[in-house]
Amino acid sequence: MRKPSLKKSIAARTSAKRALKSSLGLKTPRGYGWLTNPKKAAYNRAYNRTSFSFISILRRLFR
């Protein structure tokens, strides 16, 4: 089970690298991770399918 980290969530959305890529228009479309970094894409796919967060459990309970 994943523990949500507010600090990491904010850091990922406000990094200088992300802002620079966005302003220059260098971002690749969703799903292109297999082309840019296949090893990381394979890891993320497995991780996202096997782990779950506490928040997702709460969402399912209160639907």
Residues 6+ apart with CB under 8 A from 52: 1, 2
**Phi-psi map region of 25: left, alpha, beta (phi>0 left; psi -120 to 50 alpha):** left
pLDDT at 40: 94
List pLDDT tens digits, range 19-34: 888 888 887 788 888 9
Q: Above 90 in pLDDT, residue 38? A: yes
pLDDT at 36: 86
pLDDT at 44: 92
pLDDT at 7: 92
CA distances from 27 to 52, 53, 60 (A): 27, 27, 32
Query: Which residue shows structure tokens 């228009």?
Result: 25
